[in-house]
């Protein structure tokens, strides 16, 4: 599925302030490698329903065993194992006899100590992988079958098997330190790197499993269809502590949602909730909804946080136009797209914005290979669009109680007629401040 950098930024999948990102919200990894693999997973939506279903099976099985996961492989353990290969050591003797081992220990004390310390962590790492292999002994996904088959094969090495049998409370003899150290350093380096990579991937997918359980996500149902569609019950925004949920339905007959409502009423949150939900679904992840059905989308494009570019001399409005132009070019390929547009044409005067908005909407609504969600503060253009049967109209209601704004954040059928800009200006004391100047 195609998703560009602008859309990733608009949906806050990643963010320069990481705590505001979806990535941060889903990150429960135990290792640096797991964290980087999680980042890679979130960067690459899957390219088929088959691949999505396999990841769903992977996460489902990890959710089932998460409470019994062996956490004895710490980030520190992995770092010690990796550091062992990066540290120059005095060459080990060819043999591991009592005399050779003691001589090496006496003559190369620091190297011996580091080797002993590293071997102890290697043993812990291998034992942890063995426990994971036992815990997932009946892998249900192709992904887990592939990972565990490779782990089992690598752990069958007779030297590794001897290390796995090593008792936790038993001290390593100098002979064992040198024999294991020499084997690991000289003969098992690439295989160790491979095992770390597999563990890191499992750590990343376990993180997604933990997130699914913690946030009560559910797995969506994908259907093979020629035309795009999206249905969700109780969809919510993943990053809100107390979110309001929405029911949404877009299909070939009603593929364009015209969304209105006052500023701060919930339009942007809704649009992002839908985009994030579809994006997570295409990762094979559970989604923030009690139920979701959708087609496989070939891409998501958003137009939410357009900015000007002073260096290039490009205005806000110019960049809005360029984003719309790029969107039309991309979705003209006949593939299935989800298009999210928040507050179209904020960068020009109202009369111009009305004319531009009607032109764009009249054009986009003809494209039945895409679903559109478009919010606008230009309520007056809604009436002219009611003649088109494929456009549905919803709005976020805002009430005024005791001169205070009350936002329900609930979607309602129709077009908003709220005009609350002056009230907000007055409520925030700006009117009084200006009057006193």
Task: Tell me what pLDDT residue 75 has.
Answer: 96
Beta pairing partners, 370: 337
Contact by Cβ (8 Å): 303, 341: yes
Contact by Cβ (8 Å): 183, 9: no
Structure pTM? Answer: 0.92
- Give the tokens for residue 354: 């009305």
Task: Tell me what pLDDT residue 170 has.
Answer: 86
Residue labelled with tokens 């770092």? 79
- Give the tokens for residue 230: 């999206």
Please, what are the domains in the chain? 31-214 (1.10.1420), 221-435 (3.40.50.300)
**Percent helix, strand, coil in the chain (nearest 5)?**
50, 15, 35
The region that residue 266 occupies, defined by phi over 0 for left and psi between -120 and 50 for alpha, beta otherwise, is left
- Contact partners, residue 430, CB within 8 Å, separation at least 6: none
Phi, psi of 82 (to 5 degrees): -65, -40
Q: What is the SS3 assignment for 179?
A: helix
SS (H, E, C) 112-136: HHHHHHHHHHHHHHHHHHHHHHHHC
Task: Tell me what pLDDT residue 306 has.
Answer: 60
Parallel, antiparallel or unpaired: strands 337-341 and 299-303: parallel
Which of 274, 278, 140, 272 shows the shortest CA–CA distance to 222? 278
Which of 271, 244, 260 shows the shortest CA–CA distance to 408? 244
Task: Tell me what pLDDT residue 98 has.
Answer: 86
DSSP string, 237-258: -TT-SSPPPEEEEE-SSS-EEE
Rounded distance between C-alpha atoms, residue 276 and residue 26, angstroms: 12
Low-confidence stretches of the chain (pLDDT < 50) are: 308-314
Element (H, E) at 82: helix 75-86
Please classify residue 115 by burial: count the beta carbons closer than 10 Å to its beta carbon, then call 0-12 exposed, 13-18 middle and 19+ buried: buried
Which of 47, 6, 57 shows the shortest CA–CA distance to 297? 47
Phi, psi of 62 (to 5 degrees): -70, -35
């Amino acid at each position: 599925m195609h998703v560009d950098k602008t859309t990733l930024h608009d949906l806050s999948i990643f963010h320069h302030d990481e705590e505001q990102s979806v990535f941060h919200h889903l990150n429960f990894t135990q290792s640096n490698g797991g964290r980087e693999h999680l980042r890679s997973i979130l960067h690459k939506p899957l390219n088929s329903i088959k691949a999505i279903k396999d990841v769903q099976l992977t996460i489902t099985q990890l959710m089932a065993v998460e409470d019994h996961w062996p956490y004895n492989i710490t980030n520190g353990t992995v770092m010690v194992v990796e550091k062992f290969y990066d540290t120059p050591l005095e060459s080990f003797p060819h043999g591991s006899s009592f005399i050779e081992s003691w001589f090496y220990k006496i003559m190369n004390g620091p190297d011996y100590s580091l080797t002993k310390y590293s071997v102890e962590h290697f043993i812990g790492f291998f034992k942890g992988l063995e426990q994971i292999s036992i815990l997932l002994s009946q892998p249900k996904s192709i992904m887990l079958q592939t990972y565990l088959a490779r782990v089992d094969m690598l752990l069958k090495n007779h030297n590794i098997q001897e290390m796995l049998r090593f008792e936790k409370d038993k001290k390593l003899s100098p002979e064992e330190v040198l024999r294991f150290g020499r084997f690991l350093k000289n003969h098992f380096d690439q295989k160790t790197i491979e095992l770390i990579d597999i563990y890191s991937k499992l750590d990343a997918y376990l993180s997604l499993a933990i997130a699914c359980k913690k946030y009560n996500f559910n797995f969506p149902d994908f259907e093979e269809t020629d035309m795009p569609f999206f249905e969700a019950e109780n969809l919510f925004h993943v990053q809100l502590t107390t979110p309001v949920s929405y029911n949404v339905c877009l299909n070939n007959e009603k593929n364009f949602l015209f969304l209105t409502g006052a500023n701060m009423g919930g339009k942007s949150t809704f649009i992002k909730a839908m985009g994030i939900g579809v994006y997570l679904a295409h990762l094979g992840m559970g989604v923030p909804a009690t139920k979701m059905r959708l087609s496989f989308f070939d891409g998501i494009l958003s137009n939410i946080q357009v900015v000007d570019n002073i260096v290039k001399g490009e205005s806000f409005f110019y960049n809005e136009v360029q984003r719309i132009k790029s969107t039309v070019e991309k979705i003209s390929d006949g593939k299935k797209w989800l298009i999210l547009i928040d507050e179209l044409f904020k960068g020009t005067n109202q009369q111009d914005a009305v004319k531009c908005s009607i032109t764009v909407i009249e054009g986009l609504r003809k494209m039945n290979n895409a679903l559109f969600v478009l919010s606008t503060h230009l309520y007056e253009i809604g009436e002219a669009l009611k003649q088109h049967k494929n456009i549905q109209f919803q709005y976020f209601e805002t009430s005024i109680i005791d001169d205070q704004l009350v936002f329900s954040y609930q979607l309602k059928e129709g077009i908003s007629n709220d005009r609350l800009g002056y009230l907000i200006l007055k409520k925030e004391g700006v009117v009084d401040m200006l009057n006193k100047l």
